[in-house]
Amino acid sequence: MTLEWDVTIVGCGPVGAYAANLLGQAGLRVLVLERDMAPYALPRAVHVDHEMLRLLEDADLLAPFKDKLLAGDGHLHIGADHGVIRYLSAVDKARAFGYANDYFFYQPELEEVLRAGLTRYPNVTLRLGQEVTGLEIMDEGARLTLGDETIQTRWVLGTDGARSMVRKAIGVQLDDLNFEEPWLVVDAEVDGPISFPDLTGVPENANLQRLSVMMCDPSRPATIVPGRGNHRRWEFMLLPGEDDVQMSQPETVAALVEPWVQNAPHRIIRAATYRFHGLVATDWCVGPVFLAGDAAHQTPPFFGQGMCHGMRDVANLAWKLALVSGGEADTRLLDTYQPERDAQVRHVIGKAIDAGQYICVLDPVEAQVRDERVRAQSDIRTAADLIAPIASGITGKGAGERFINPAVRDDGTLLDSVTGGGWVLLSRSEMTVTPEATAVLAQLGARQVVVSRDMSDPEGHLDAWFKAHQADHVLVRPDFYTAAVSASASLMGDEIVRLGRAMGLGQSISTKVASS
């Protein structure tokens, strides 16, 4: 079978478009098939965290988007007594990851940037108005059907949303994590500040206009979300017996929003009811077909991690596909995709469901008990703390967490700008690498960077990280997660060789390792 494409992506929402940029950047032949002729014109996702800005910057997509973001101050949860029960914020705290923890954006503007980015790559083709009607797994690759046309491809990436045709075509079911609640989502343009009722316990440095505020009010739980420019969002829980259609009527929506806007001029641009779910695909990969984004998982929105999950998915998968496509790694490297992503996604969904269960309490007495319990908790300080480390056969002991991206020059230049991304072996001081480890690093295209030689540490973040991990060396992956951590150059060399073997890198490396 002649394979026309390395990867065919079905669905060109933010996750699919970002995947196409990464794979195009890596030199793969990429076809993107999108059913609709234009991006959805109204906002859906509205929040990203610092990791997403880092991923956009890595694909040279942040610059045209940065001015369209609002740096938020975090998340504030208000109890039944209108007092603060949880405050998740990194305001006025040092930025070890280089960016603020929370950003709010307007999804059509992000999609415009992502699609414009595809024009940089002659090896990427975007076809609009193309609905995939069939998918068949072959002995080598897969065959897609579009009406009378068939397409042969080595891999398929399904980023076609919650109702994914790709997921259904490969017979994958969704694991229901037992959370489903009906909510009304309202987007509006508001020319003025949002009005809040009298609240107690709000920290002095908290700016309500820049916080995602969750009103855990048993009379009607609601969320007030800031946005870039004059965009604002509300999410109102539907109470038992309320009808979706009736709650979406203009007069009902206006009555719900009115207390928050009072005399501020405003215009409702969207009102729709949703079921907030906690769902995860039982299989993220079947043969040459992969799932990512909402096709693989659906997350309650209480920490704004839905789209972030999808971007992490493709950042995890893209570098692996590139290595296998180029012949540097064995296909078993792709087997690490689900183990690394599934556990992390389930962890975050679990935390979001926990939050949803206490947010959605409708009994006043139970809500009072809830308030006391949540106020006593201190397990999560910022939403970024939700993201658990990954684990697989290609992460070493003590590795698997997101590596920091601090300023490494007095002018604020971030670490990634100095290292250039990709595989990076970062050491506190000069390190001699064994021939076997050197062969692995060469196969990965890794760059060796020395803190004492190549950069400074003006805010002390790197020094603090190495001390906290009792390490002098760290190997960082292209998705910015740590692959290996060690205090010893020789042990790091051994771990690099082990990782090369686990990833199925080239025969020349295997021969060297076997003869050592």
Segments of the chain assigned to CATH 3.50.50.60: 5-70+106-174+279-386
Segments of the chain assigned to CATH 3.40.30: 415-515
CB 273 within 8 A of CB 182: yes
Position 382 scores a pLDDT of 67
**CATH number for the 177-276 domain, one of 3.40.50.2020, 3.10.20.30, 3.30.9.10, 1.10.238.10?**
3.30.9.10
Spatial CA neighbour of 185 closest among 147, 227, 128: 227
Position 380 scores a pLDDT of 63
Extract the residue ranges of the chain whose pLDDT is less than 70: 1-2, 379-384, 507-516
Q: Is 388 exposed, middle or buried (0-12, 13-18, 19+ CB in 10 A)?
A: middle
The span from the CA of 245 to the CA of 238, in Å, is 11
The span from the CA of 126 to the CA of 130, in Å, is 10
Spatial CA neighbour of 449 closest among 474, 468, 471: 474
The span from the CA of 136 to the CA of 61, in Å, is 34
Q: How far is CA 225 from CA 257, 381, 446, in A?
A: 12, 19, 41
- Name every residue whose Cβ is closer than 8 Å to that of residue 304 and which is 6 or more positions away in sequence: 46, 47, 48, 49, 102, 212, 383
Position 458 scores a pLDDT of 96
CATH number listed for the domain at residues 5-70+106-174+279-386: 3.50.50.60
CB 272 within 8 A of CB 198: no
Lookup: tokens for 223 = 């969320």
Spatial CA neighbour of 187 closest among 88, 305, 274, 62: 274
Angle at the Cα of 250 (from 246 to 253), degrees rounded to 5?
80
CB 479 within 8 A of CB 462: no
Token pair 């954006």: residue: 105
Q: How many CB atoms lie within 10 A of CB 245?
A: 8
Segments of the chain assigned to CATH 3.30.9.10: 177-276
**CATH number for the 415-515 domain, one of 3.90.930, 3.40.50, 3.40.30, 1.10.3470?**
3.40.30
Whole-model pTM: value is: 0.94
Position 386 scores a pLDDT of 82
